Amino acid sequence: MDTKKLNSNIQFLRGISVIIVFFFHFNTKVFNTFFVGVDIFFLLSGFVITSSIYKKNKFNFFNFLLRRIKRIYPNLILILFVFFIIFFYFYRDYTDDYINNFFSIIFSLLGLSNIYYSLNPTLFYFNEEIRWLIHTWSLSIEIQYYILFGLISLFFFKLKKNQKINKDLIKKIIILISIISFLLFTFTDIKFISDYYSLPARLWEFMLGSLLYFIYREKKYAFAEVFLFFIFLLSFLNFLILDYKLVIIFTLLSIFLILLYSKEIQLNMITRPIMYIGKISFSFYLWHLILISIFKDHFSSEIANFLIIFVLTIISSYFSYNLVETKFNKKFSIDLKLEKLIKVFSVLFIILFFY
């Protein structure tokens, strides 16, 4: 596997994804299909997470969760805290948004904001004005995916250790999940199961990334039938699919194929600035909608609005990436104790969930 070239291509696509999401949130009417940047993120995340788990011969579920927590929460807590101070001090007249933003903060920290937005019909992602923290729905989807895929991988490694498994089982599981999720996404619109904010309808996007990893690692293209399934399905049934779903499907298939043949395609020939944005993309994504909500329409022209907010997002992302994200995303001497703490909280959570 040409890891260096592939990683640079992924970084480039991350940069492109977060930039087009910025365009979408800045003006949803003009850039009305650019929401698909989030879906590209999901595919890339599926690849990266699968790679981080399956390039090794053993898997520690609680260490995996700890690394994900250290990757996400320091930055998230900082940015939500800054937003909390700014909003509740400077936007006292926005009383209609107080409750929504308060609960958005709480549910974002719990990794459940997508469920909160599903419950609240006034916070649909395609409303005319997307504001404040509504973009955190995708972060909650990511967190839920980490837990679910981590548990699936834990089960796989336990079976593998007991020699009850062949090496293709995990790929068969991934394909099965992909097909079920894709069918839910395509043909239903059930709250919490297949609506826009739901994890089950998004799993196929992550699983495409997982399949890409296995195909690329093993240099086997035997999973092309998965694409044939998608294409066959679309060719006969695309008139039944909502427009935004078609945009997502065709975009992700295109990205999958681009990455699949990334040996021949070098995406970062002109792209140092975009690759840097890809590097800080998590911070960029967390900051951008908050800054758009605060500064939109504060300046004389639309172009000035766009450029100033974009630059402010880059600057904020630079500082939070370097001062918070990279500082916490390392190994610490207390990591083993934190893993034990996660185990305790996991048991308590399971008990409370069933209660």
> What gap in Å lies between CA 260 and CA 217, rounded to an integer?
11
pLDDT in tens, 44-72: 999 999 999 988 888 899 999 999 999 99
Q: What is the pLDDT of residue 269?
A: 56
- Tell me the average pLDDT across 314-335: 88
pLDDT in tens, 195-226: 888 999 999 999 989 988 888 777 665 555 55
Q: What is the pLDDT of residue 280?
A: 93
- Tell me the average pLDDT across 253-270: 67
> What gap in Å lies between CA 13 and CA 20, rounded to an integer?
11
Q: Is the pLDDT of residue 38 over 80?
A: yes
> What gap in Å lies between CA 277 and CA 88, rounded to an integer?
30
Tell me, what DSSP letter sits at residue 75? H
Q: Which residue has the tokens 């329409």?
A: 297
In this predicted model, which residue has the larger pLDDT, 150 or 328? 150
> What's the gap between Cα 138 and its chain centre?
5
Question: Measuring CA to CA, which residue among 313, 283, 204, 277 is closest to residue 17?
Answer: 277
Q: Is the pLDDT of residue 35 over 70?
A: yes
